[in-house]
């Protein structure tokens, strides 16, 4: 997929197409994520909810794929990734995981200084976690948090497929 730099809606549409590949399940939101090297306008990794084994989130899948590609633990990804990245995710990254997995916000914070901006399509609905503090945590760490408007209805329809 060839997207122009700063085509935020295009990248969010790409993330949404990934979310559509996630299996509908009543206990998960279907989310898609795209990690971009903003200097080269190159997609480094993509992911969607439950793409990889375990109860994996979209952002988590991006990072797992990069650990496999570079042969490093997730804690050392900052040593092998480019200096200027943006993360596009259809839904606000989670700040709390009911499954016990590391929240996506904490995974992103490991890469602070490299991920300058997180672009989101919608804020996380309060279905599973009553108050997601992801946006605040990212902003407090100096990561710009940007809502990309225009796809909210489509994102929520995909995200909640399989919910009662």
| Catalytic-labelled residue, pool 2, 51, 53, 59 | 59
- 163 burial type by CB count under 10 A (0-12 exposed, 13-18 middle, 19+ buried): middle
Helix axes 58-70, 8-19, angle to 10 degrees: 90
Query: What's the total number of domains in the chain?
Result: 1
Nearest to 64, CA basis, from 41, 85, 86, 47: 47
**pLDDT bucket at 1, cuts 50 / 70 / 90:** low
Rounded to the nearest integer, the mean pLDDT of the chain is: 93
Residue 66 — φ and ψ, nearest 5°?
Answer: -70, -35
On whether residue 4 sits in a domain, the answer given is no
Distance (Å, whole) CA 20 – CA 154: 10
Calculate what percentage of the chain has a pLDDT beyond 90: 79
- Catalytic status, residue 42: no
Cβ atoms of residues 44 and 66 within 8 Å: yes
pTM reported for the whole predicted model: 0.94
On whether residue 1 sits in a domain, the answer given is no
Cβ atoms of residues 95 and 128 within 8 Å: no
On whether residue 20 sits in a domain, the answer given is yes
On whether residue 115 sits in a domain, the answer given is yes
Q: What is the pLDDT of residues 133-156, one digit of tens each?
A: 888 999 999 999 999 999 999 999
Min mean pLDDT across 45-59, 94-108, 111-125, 137-151 is at 94-108
On whether residue 164 sits in a domain, the answer given is no
Nearest to 33, CA basis, from 112, 82, 84, 87: 87
What are the residues whose beta carbons fall under 8 Å from the beta carbon of 117, sequence distance 6 or more? 38, 86, 87, 143, 144, 145, 146
On whether residue 131 sits in a domain, the answer given is yes
CATH number (domain holding residue 148) = 3.40.140.10
Select the more confidently predicted residue: 99 or 72.
Answer: 72
On whether residue 17 sits in a domain, the answer given is yes
Query: Which residue range is the domain that position 71 belongs to?
Result: 11-159
On whether residue 110 sits in a domain, the answer given is yes
Cβ atoms of residues 73 and 67 within 8 Å: yes
């Amino acid at each position: 997929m060839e997207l122009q730099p700063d085509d935020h809606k295009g990248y969010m549409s790409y993330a949404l197409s990934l979310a559509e590949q996630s299996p509908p399940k009543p206990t998960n939101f279907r989310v898609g994520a795209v990690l971009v090297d903003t200097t080269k306008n190159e997609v480094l990794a993509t992911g969607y909810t439950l793409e990889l084994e375990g109860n994996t989130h979209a952002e988590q899948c991006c990072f797992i794929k990069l650990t496999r590609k570079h042969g490093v633990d997730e804690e050392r990804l900052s040593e092998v990734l480019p200096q200027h990245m943006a993360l596009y995710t259809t839904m606000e990254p989670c700040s709390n995981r009911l499954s016990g997995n590391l929240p996506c916000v904490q995974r992103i914070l490991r890469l602070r200084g490299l991920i300058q901006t997180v672009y989101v399509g919608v804020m996380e609905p309060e279905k599973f976690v009553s108050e997601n503090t992801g946006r605040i945590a990212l902003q407090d760490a100096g990561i710009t948090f940007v809502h990309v408007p225009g796809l909210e209805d489509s994102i929520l329809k995909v995200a909640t497929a399989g919910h009662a």
